[in-house]
């Protein structure tokens, strides 16, 4: 299977949360945000789960630095992305990846807003199939910007090639607050995804940790 080079990028608190229990997720400092926008300008596409669209309504464009907007991809089995979502503005192509269960009416509304629909998977989006399709479209570098549930699925399936984590100087607490990686979790350390630290840096108040998996299944 061919797939793009997948970079997973997230900002988390010192205690590993990517949003507070109230849903605040703007953890990065200004300099780190500019770095994120620069990264967006350097990739072919940016991908998020529909949970992030519904919570944060991000536009996923490049605004804080000069550069071109990447293609935007939303992983959204039921086509639940609201037609009014910022990600459907006309600033770049937006792909909504859905399953075969997505209601036709919703698909029509999204198409009317200019979205390209990719059907991958029966009930839930099949990420391997989706990544393969994106690769065939010429997307060689993909930046994943969360959230917690999508991060888990990609990590569990060994589809992440690089992790860029910003550790921001906050403690958010809360058992229900979303962590960097959610989902079911690995039962044992022996089954977990093992990483190699390749870079450590500091941007403003945030610590940047860059990891690569020790082995990535293709
Ligand atoms: N600090 C940060 O860097 C950062 C970045 C991004 C997001 N966040 C935060 O993360 C939170 C959202 O995370 P989340 O976990 O609720 O949502 P999410 O990961 O953004 O989206 C998850 C949804 O994607 C859909 N999906 C479809 N196919 C999937 C698959 N194969 N694997 C996984 N998901 C699939 C599912 O909905 P369907 O079944 O309906 O398709 C699933 O519920 C928000 O609070 C947001 O603020 C923080």
Q: Is residue 14 part of a domain?
A: yes
Q: Considering the domain boundaries, does residue 218 fall inside one? A: no
- CB 204 less than 6 A from any atom of ligand 1: no
**Model pTM?**
0.97
Residue 26 placed within a domain? yes
Q: How many domains does the chain have?
A: 1
- Decide if 128 is inside a domain: yes
CATH code: domain of residue 78: 3.40.430.10
How many Å apart are CA 185 and CA 22, to the nearest integer? Answer: 23
189 Cα to the center of ligand 1, angstroms: 24
* Residue whose CA lies nearest to ligand 1 atom number 16: 51
Q: Does any domain span residue 46?
A: yes
Structure tokens at 190: 């022996």
**51 touches ligand 1 (CB under 6 Å):** yes
**Over residues 43-48, mean pLDDT:** 98
Is the Cβ–Cβ distance between 14 and 169 less than 8 Å?
yes
Ligand 1 contacts CB of residue 94 (under 6 A)? no
| Cα-based angle 196, 33, 91 (whole degrees, multiple of 5) | 110
In a domain? residue 35: yes
Q: Is 207 inside any structural domain? A: yes
User: 173 is in which domain, residue-wise?
Assistant: 5-213
Specify the pLDDT at position 1: 79
Going by C-alpha positions, the residue among 29, 102, 180, 76 that lies closest to residue 85 is 76
Whether residue 20 has pLDDT greater than 70: yes
% helix, strand, coil for the chain, step of 5: 25, 25, 50
Q: Tell me, using a 6 A CB cutoff, whether residue 49 lines ligand 1.
A: yes
Residue 218 has pLDDT above 50, yes or no: no
**pLDDT computed for residue 215 by the predictor:** 67
């Amino acid at each position: 299977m061919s797939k793009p080079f997948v970079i997973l990028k997230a900002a988390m608190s010192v205690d590993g949360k990517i949003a507070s229990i109230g849903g605040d997720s703007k953890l990065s400092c200004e300099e780190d945000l500019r770095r994120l926008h620069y990264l967006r300008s350097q990739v072919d596409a940016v991908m998020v789960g529909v949970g992030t669209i519904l919570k944060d309504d991000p536009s996923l464009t490049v605004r804080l630095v000069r550069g071109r907007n990447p293609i935007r991809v939303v992983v959204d089995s039921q086509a639940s992305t609201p037609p009014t979502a910022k990600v459907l503005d006309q600033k770049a192509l937006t792909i909504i990846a859905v399953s075969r269960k997505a209601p036709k009416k919703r698909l029509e509304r999204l198409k009317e807003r200019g979205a390209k629909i990719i059907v991958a998977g029966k009930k839930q989006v099949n990420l391997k199939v989706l990544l393969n399709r994106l690769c065939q479209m010429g997307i060689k570098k993909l930046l994943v910007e969360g959230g917690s549930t999508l991060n888990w699925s990609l990590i569990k399936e060994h589809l992440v090639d690089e992790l860029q984590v910003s550790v921001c100087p906050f403690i958010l607490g809360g058992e229900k607050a979303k962590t960097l990686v959610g989902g079911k979790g690995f039962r044992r350390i022996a089954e977990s995804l093992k990483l190699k630290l390749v870079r450590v840096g500091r941007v403003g108040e945030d610590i940047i940790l860059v990891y690569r998996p020790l082995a990535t299944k293709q």
